Structure 1
Amino acid sequence: MTRVCFRLQVDPDRLDEYRRRHTAVWPEMLRELEACGRRNYSLFLGADGLLIGYYETDSAQDSAEYLAASRVAARWEAHMADLFIDVDDRADRAATALDEVFHLDDQLADIRGTGGIAAPDEAAPRNGGGA
């Protein structure tokens, strides 16, 4: 399984419209997202228009190729394009992929697999953070 995270920039003057369009994504688009193998797909929108997307898939390349060939996805992307900054027609092609630098489950599996648990003075600060 691959975890994919990306960012885009929504026009700050169009945030309400972006939210509105996502309250009722077309059923056929939802089915295409499912058919392309994306799971646990979420979008997070900041007050400045920063959009972070996350999904899990067995193959990011196969998923992207499926959507690139999908008429439904092309229509959806055209429907959404005017809400983004620096996007001509397909936001999915303009998205910037982000590198994963930490995953709790992976690191917990590593320490459990080796039996090593960090000593308290080596552990992360206990201020509720970790990011």
Structure 2
Amino acid sequence: MQRLAFKMKLNKGQKEAYIQRHSDLWPELKALLKANGVSEYSIFLDEETNMLFAFQKVSGSGGSQDLASNTIVKKWWDFMADIMEVNPDNSPVSIPLEEVFFME
């Protein structure tokens, strides 16, 4: 099991929209993530900077970031593009974070 972390940026004033869209996470997207080894996925918001901190527990070698070619993932990106900082293909601007400490 590997632990992955990355950060993204939420557009100002979009906290409630972001929470609502994730509370209604599409069942097919959740199933896709689980089928690809994502067993835990948490996202935290730093309201002072609008930075999102994402954490995943993943079995295998990849995580959600490796599903870029999947149609469901592309539809989700399009759905979220108006409230987040995104790349030209509507994927979230995502910056991987290096783990520098872990306590078991």
- Gapped runs of 5+ residues in structure 1? 106-131
TM-score (norm 1): 0.70
Larger RCO (alpha carbons 8 Å, 6+ apart): 2
**Range 56-65 or range 8-17, more displaced:** 56-65
Counterpart position of 1:109:
none
Letter in 2 for 1:16: E
The percentage of aligned residue pairs carrying the same residue is 27
Counterpart position of 1:75: 75
Query: Is 1:4–1:60's contact at 8 Å kept on the other side of the alignment?
Result: no
Q: Is the 8 A contact 1:5 1:53 kept in 2?
A: yes
- How large is the RMSD of aligned CA atoms in angstroms? 1.7
Alignment pair present for 1:11 and 2:11: yes
**Greater percentage in helix:** 1
3-state secondary structure, aligned to 1:43? strand
* Equivalent position SS for 1:104: coil
Whichever of the two has the greater Rg, that structure is 1
Residue 28 to residue 80, structure 1, CA distance change in 2 (3 Å):
same
Gaps of 5+ in 2: none
- Which of the two has greater strand per residue? 2
Q: Distance in 2 between matches of 1:45 and 1:13?
A: 12
- Number of residue pairs matched? 102
TM-score, normalising length from structure 2?
0.87
Aligned position for 2:62: 61
Distance 2:103 2:73 in 1: 32
Distance 1:104 1:34 in 2: 25
Q: Look up the SS of the partner of 2:13 in the other structure.
A: helix
SS at match of 2:78: helix
Do 2:3 and 2:56's aligned partners in 1 also have CA atoms closer than 8 Å?
yes
Give the Cα separation in 2 of the matches to 1:52 and 1:98.
Answer: 9
